[in-house]
């Protein structure tokens, strides 16, 4: 299992363990998986100007989870 898939599973389990609304978190999980898998038509077109708007590169989900890992570890 890749680090990316592990992070995705860590996210979902952490949300469940935290008592999050799983109907919503399930949607977030599915969207994240589809976006990373490139199965959402035109998704990159929607967000292709992030760097131009903010002046910096966006943080990828896996990097966000790694940066905030302590907050996900209960």
* Residues 15, 72: Cα–Cα separation, whole Å: 8
Mean pLDDT across the chain, nearest whole number? Answer: 87
- Judge whether 50 and 58 are in contact, CB under 8 Å: yes
Question: What are the phi and psi torsion angles at 21 (to 5°)?
Answer: -70, 110
Spatial neighbors of 72 by CB under 8 A, at least 6 apart, are 10, 11, 14, 65
User: Containing domain of residue 52, as a range?
Assistant: 3-72
Q: Predicted confidence band at 5 (pLDDT cuts at 50, 70, 90)?
A: low
Domain count, the chain: 1
pLDDT 10s digits, 24-47: 999 999 998 898 888 999 887 776
Q: How far is CA 54 from CA 8, 30, 31, 50, 68, in A?
A: 26, 27, 23, 6, 21
């Amino acid at each position: 299992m890749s680090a990316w898939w592990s992070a995705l599973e860590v996210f979902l389990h952490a949300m469940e363990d935290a008592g999050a609304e799983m109907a919503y978190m399930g949607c977030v999980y599915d969207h994240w998986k589809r976006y990373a898998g490139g199965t959402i038509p035109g998704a990159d077109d929607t967000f292709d100007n992030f760097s131009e708007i903010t002046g910096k590169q966006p943080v990828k989900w896996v990097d966000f989870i790694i940066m905030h890992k302590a907050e996900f570890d209960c």
